[in-house]
Structure 1
Amino acid sequence: MDVEKIIKTDKPIPIESRTLIHISLVQNKINEIMAQAIKPFDISLQQFNVLRILRGQKGKPANLSTLNERMVTKMSNTTRLVDKLILKDYVNRKVCPSNRRKIEITITPKGEADLLKIDKNIIEAEREIVQNFNLQELEELNRLLDKF
């Protein structure tokens, strides 16, 4: 990815700025490819993230705080994400019997089934994104990113 060409500049960019711009451009490209992968299922990347978190609960309910903590992209509108998933019959929400102030959220069987279908598209998208890297390069890239 040629950063200077993409942002249409002839001026040299300081390495620190170029690095951060480059990471942002890569992130945008990744999000674009991933969004295309889930587009047939009419959900957003954030909704997909919520479904994966709920599946990872293995039947145990999660609350909004748990979802917020585990979200890849931290946001304040998790309630709205859950509302949209309820409308699609992907999740259930109910009041906790032992603590009426707590809301419990679980993935539905339909949510689980469609998530398995979505997974196939995501795996394909991930392969596309990292196709130019071998295993050793991916491990090194992860090691470098861990430094952030």
Structure 2
Amino acid sequence: MGIEQDIHQKKFVSAKQKAMINLLYTYGWIMERVKHFLASEDITHQQFNILRILRGAAPEPLSTLQIRERMLDKMSDTSRIVDRLVAKELVQKCTCPKDKRLVDVTISPKGLALLEKIDKEGDHIEEIMGRLSEAEATQLSNMLDQLRG
């Protein structure tokens, strides 16, 4: 099944327009599957993204501004999402000792354990990307980098 059947459109202005629409449609398709998977862990995709960012920075803390700069969804309300992660005990925050106006955020052991559990399950990645070989996934990633680059 192709994008033409999925959105019931037979003609596109150009191959580039078709590719862009296909990319946007595929983003929505992927996000629905990610949201469904993460719902079983009681976290949103934005919360998952912040946990991954903090794990990558660990043991160093990050400010909410630094987190926002690294997020996939730049429109997210980072402070509100961090507060929800604090309430779930997945992250810890404290006032930055060097600049009292900033808040330092670090991932908690509970947050690390949750990411480890998600990594071990890994089914969501295979469910979404399973139709591609490793070589095709690498090629797709390189093409997306080229598109942005």
TM-score normalised to structure 2 length = 0.90
In the alignment, what sits opposite 1:69? 69
In the alignment, what sits opposite 2:36? 36
In the alignment, what sits opposite 1:50? 50
In the alignment, what sits opposite 2:128? 129
In the alignment, what sits opposite 2:2? 2
CA distance in 1, matches of 2:118, 2:54: 15
CA distance in 1, matches of 2:119, 2:39: 13
Structure 1 vs Structure 2 CA RMSD: 1.5
- The alpha carbon displacement at 1:26 in A equals 1.0
CA distance in 2, matches of 1:45, 1:120: 18
- What pairs up with 1:93-132 in 2 under 5 angstroms? 93-121=93-121, 123-132=122-131
Asked which structure has the greater RCO (Cα within 8 Å, sep 6+), the reply is: 1
CA distance in 2, matches of 1:8, 1:48: 33
% identical equivalent positions? 36
CA distance in 1, matches of 2:107, 2:130: 32
CA distance in 2, matches of 1:27, 1:51: 21
Per-residue displacement from partner, 1:55-74 (whole Å, max 9, x unpaired)? 11122111011101111121
CA distance in 1, matches of 2:115, 2:138: 27
- The alpha carbon displacement at 1:76 in A equals 4.4
CA distance in 2, matches of 1:144, 1:114: 32
The number of equivalent residue pairs is 146
In the alignment, what sits opposite 2:142? 143
The amino acid of 1:132's aligned partner reads: R
CA distance in 1, matches of 2:98, 2:131: 51
- The alpha carbon displacement at 1:41 in A equals 1.3
The amino acid of 2:126's aligned partner reads: R
In the alignment, what sits opposite 1:18? 18
> Which is further off, 133-142 or 26-35?
133-142
- Is contact 2:91-2:106 (8 Å) kept? yes
Q: Which runs of 5+ in 1 are unaligned?
A: none
Secondary structure of the structure 2 residue equivalent to 1:119: helix
The amino acid of 1:105's aligned partner reads: V
